[in-house]
A and B are shown apart, each in its own frame.
Chain A
Amino acid sequence: MSPFETRRGVIGATLASLAALALPGAAFAALTEAAARKLVDGLVAEINRVIASGKSPSAMYDDFEKIFRRYADLPYIAAYALGADGRRATAAQKKAFTNAFTGYLSRKYGSRFREFIGGRLEVQGVKAVKNYYEVATTAYLKGQSPFAVTFHTSDRTGKPLMFNMYIEGVNLLLTERTEIGAMLDKRRGNIDAMIADLKKAG
């Protein structure tokens, strides 16, 4: 199913960008249900492709990092994870944190996704929630009951990006804010020391 999904994703993306060019400016930025679905379709296809590639773990983590950088609203996720401590961070610390955090996310979620080998994610449906879209998918893993993975997407930056993910109700943003908060506590609030730890974590 991966090649099919990928092809559909590419065709869909091409059509959508053509349609966007053809439309008057006002409609351009608005995130539509179709765009949210296409984003997750593409994301799911790429995750499935990496899982099926059979590469070494470290090569897979590099691939997952590329996927995160392309599909996720990393500045938002990083700012949320750092929480109130972000207010006292310098510009250089914020940049360094976002970078280290992206690598950490790729390793951590990459190793979880590796357990999906032989399984797949299927998009179920899209619904509008407040100012974002919720894309529901089901994960089918070998020998296990299917479970729900939900992606939240917004067009905060002008293009549709994933800003949160739920696995059976467990929320990525809150999980990571808890983790980063605990890492900061361990370092008595020292942001630079926490960033150094983050580079080794995941």
Chain B
Amino acid sequence: MLALRAFFAMVPLALTLAACSIPGPEQAPDGIWDPNEPANRRVHAFNTRVDDKVLRGAGTGVMEALPAGGRQAVSQFADTVGTPQTVVNQLLQLRLWRATQNTLRFALNATVGLGVLDPASELGLTPDKSDFGETLAVWGVPEGAYMVVPFVGPSTERGATGMVVDLFTDPLAYVLHSPERYLPPLAKAADRVIARGEFSQTVDSVLYDSSDAYAQTRLMHLQHRRYTLGAEDPASADIDPMALDTTGF
């Protein structure tokens, strides 16, 4: 079984190492490497339609139907059932201290917290998520080109590969039997709808009020992802408050 899992992890990994393209000089202005922009724009348009027809309304519906306490419980449950997968990835990243903290966090929240509360945060064990995309980054795999994934949203070649591998790195999926094993993915989907509802104005302003929502989400995703991975954002690093002619402004 372990061998099977390792096999599943190795196949996409080998693909990633071969597939994460690296921009040449001057090919990534503002830190953006997007050689497949026309295809990405089509997927972005599709995802925006899905948001407009389904997710947006579902988010508003959840805000109306569920009180704040209920929403928090669902989100917390999604966080708790997602923690073992974070631990697996942090072990693969050799981040043993963070893996230990998350193990404790899971142990506390799944027992004392009944799965839906967050007593661990009170003790300073705050949420600290990871995924296989981050593991690949720690292993030195380049980010690759920007990529919009249908139904999921903005990612990169490395991030998308991580998502595929993460379909197999959740320990709970191997421990739970049906029907319990469907709870974690359901909770994660519900958490996404809740987040869409809670941040509705911000998401709307980016998706529907921007002049070019595609360019805006691409920029935001890349900057935020690099920030969470602790990587330097090349475009941000170039900003020099003294090196600009502001005459007339």
Contacts and interface: CB of A to CB of B under 8 A. Distances in A.
Contacts of B198: 143-144
A169 B223 contact: yes
Contacts of A75: 246, 249
Nearest to B219: A178
B19 to A, nearest CB: 25
A115 interface: yes
Contact of A185 (B205, B212, B245): B212
A170 B241 contact: no
Interface in B105-153: 126-127
B249 A169 contact: no
Contact of B210 (A82, A98, A182): A182
A183 interface: yes
Interface of B: 30, 68, 71-72, 126-127, 198, 201-202, 205, 209-212, 215-216, 219-220, 223-224, 226-228, 233, 235-236, 239-242, 244-246, 248-249
- 5 closest A-B pairs by beta carbon, nearest first, are A169-B227, A182-B212, A182-B211, A154-B241, A94-B248
Is the contact region of chain A dominated by helix, strand, or loop, or is it mixed?
A: helix
Given A76-B241, A170-B220, A170-B224, A91 B248 contact: yes
A98 B249 CA distance: 6
Interface string A149-185: 0001010100000011010111101110011011101
A182 B215 contact: yes
What class of interface size applies to chain A in its complex with B? 35 or more
Contact of B240 (A131, A169, A182, A185): A131
Given A79-B246, A79-B249, A169 B241 contact: no
Contact of B223 (A79, A171, A185): A171
Of residues B72, B216, B219, B248, which shows the largest number of chain A Cβ atoms within 10 Å of its Cβ? B248
A54 to B, nearest CB: 18
A79 B245 CA distance: 8
Given A94-B249, A143-B68, A169-B223, A178 B215 contact: yes
A112 B202 contact: yes
Given A131-B240, A174-B30, A182-B215, A168 B224 contact: yes
Given A154-B241, A186-B211, A175 B220 contact: yes
Interface of A: 73-76, 78-80, 82, 86, 89, 91, 94-95, 97-98, 108, 111-112, 115, 130-132, 143-145, 152, 154, 156, 163-164, 166, 168-171, 173-175, 178-179, 181-183, 185-186, 201
A75 B219 CA distance: 23
A169 B224 contact: yes
A73 B72 CA distance: 39
A185 to B, nearest CB: 7
Contacts of A112: 201-202, 205
Nearest to B218: A178
A178 B216 CA distance: 7
A156 B249 CA distance: 14
A44 B212 CA distance: 30
Contacts of A164: 239, 241
Nearest to A163: B241
A106 to B, nearest CB: 14
A178 B228 contact: no
Nearest to A80: B244
